[in-house]
Amino acid sequence: MKAPQGRDVAYFDGLSAYLQGGIEQVEGWIEPISAVYIAYLSLEQVRLGLVGDVAEIGVHHGRLFLLLANAITSSETAHAIDVFDDQEKNIDQSGHGNRQVFERNVRHFAPTANVNIIQESSLDLDKTGFTDREIRMFSIDGGHTAAITRNDLQVAEKCLVDGGIVVLDDVLNPHWLGVVSGLADYLRTGGTLVPFAVSPNKVYLTSNIDHAEKYRGVMATAFPLSQEKVNIEFFGSCVDYYGYHPYYEPNGGTGVRRQRDDLQREVESLKASLAEANKRLTEN
Ligand SMILES: C[S@@+](CC[C@H](N)C(=O)[O-])C[C@H]1O[C@@H](n2cnc3c(N)ncnc32)[C@H](O)[C@@H]1O
């Protein structure tokens, strides 16, 4: 396991606070329970020693992005991609980015994170240099047409590190059927990402079948109470569905406290790893 650095550990202090209170103050669309799943998977990647940036296409005011930005280490960057005020490029009017509001939210809820803002349509990312970055957690929630979804999945596949995760929004939302159409197009035309889980409004994919099986195990161990159905056929892969459960809800009575405690335990475990690594260094 790659030992986290001191500053890295400090970064996660803001994560549980954002999940419990901050997220409700930021306008946007993520279901709180899915925010918990994404936060957990991101911390698990760090614990497994995975290194890479995080990114979101379609940040709107930052509701999900700020969670990602609170779950990175000091050597990593959170990339925010949105057309923002160039709304003529938002061809299907999915959300409405606002750079001023977004930047204010970043200052307030993720003040220490390395944040790189790219004001561009995801269809034109090649000219920004972004596609040379290595990403471990990639949320796709920009344009919801089939063509844009397929493009965004191809961008994510290109940037994803081995074991990275892509979180795709609105796949099963009847208002935005372009997304499932784009996912089908992507997989039919040689897309290599492998779906492994579904949660309210999100589908999770990773770089290959081995990692898909590993993450299915991670989710099963971490969230047994909300695992509603397993081994669901989905575009030739097998996925598990994680739904709502008060124990894991960040805003659900005792769940708030317990989830905070769970996340705090994650932080404590990372701190213990750091202390252990420092001890070994001093001894040698
Ligand atoms: C549904 S909202 C995103 C919600 C956000 N992820 C959250 O956590 O609340 C969609 C966003 O995608 C942006 N967008 C639409 N088309 C885009 C494109 N082609 N490239 C980049 N961003 C786009 C919109 O400006 C809007 O901010």
pLDDT-derived band at 1, boundaries 50, 70, 90: very low
The predicted-structure confidence for 148-175, as pLDDT tens digits, reads as follows: 999 999 999 999 999 999 999 999 999 9
Ligand 1 centroid, distance to 118 Cα (angstroms): 12
- List the residue whose alpha carbon is closest to atom 1 of ligand 1: 95
The secondary element (H helix, E strand) that includes residue 142 is: none
CA distance 256 to 179: 32
Token duo for residue 65? 């992005």
In this predicted model, what pLDDT tens digit does every residue of 2-22 receive, in sequence order?
A: 444 544 555 576 887 888 888
Q: What percent of the chain has pLDDT over 90?
A: 66
Model confidence pLDDT, tens digit, residues 180-224: 999 999 999 999 999 999 999 999 999 999 999 999 999 999 899
How many residues are there in the chain?
Answer: 284
Q: What is the pTM of this model?
A: 0.89
Strand ranges inside the chain, DSSP E = 53-57, 78-82, 115-119, 135-140, 160-169, 194-199, 202-206, 227-234, 237-242
Whole-number Å distance, alpha carbon 149 to ligand 1 midpoint, is 12
For position 260, what pLDDT does the model report? 58
CA of 48 to the centre of ligand 1 (A): 30
pLDDT computed for residue 3 by the predictor: 46
pLDDT 10s digits, 56-90: 999 999 999 999 999 998 889 999 999 999 888 88
Q: What is the dihedral of CA 52, 56, 59, 63, to 10 degrees?
A: -60
Where do the domains of the chain lie, and which CATH numbers do they carry? 6-283 (3.40.50.150)
pLDDT exceeds 90 at position 273 = no
Pocket-testing residue among 56, 59, 130, ligand 1, by greatest number of atoms within 8 A of Cβ: 59
Q: What is the pLDDT of residue 2?
A: 47
For the cut 60, the answer to whether the pLDDT of residue 139 exceeds it is: yes
What is the number of alpha carbons within 13 Å of residue 192 lying toward its C-beta?
14
* Mean pLDDT over the full length of the chain: 89
Q: What pLDDT, on the 0 to 100 scale, is given for residue 128?
A: 93
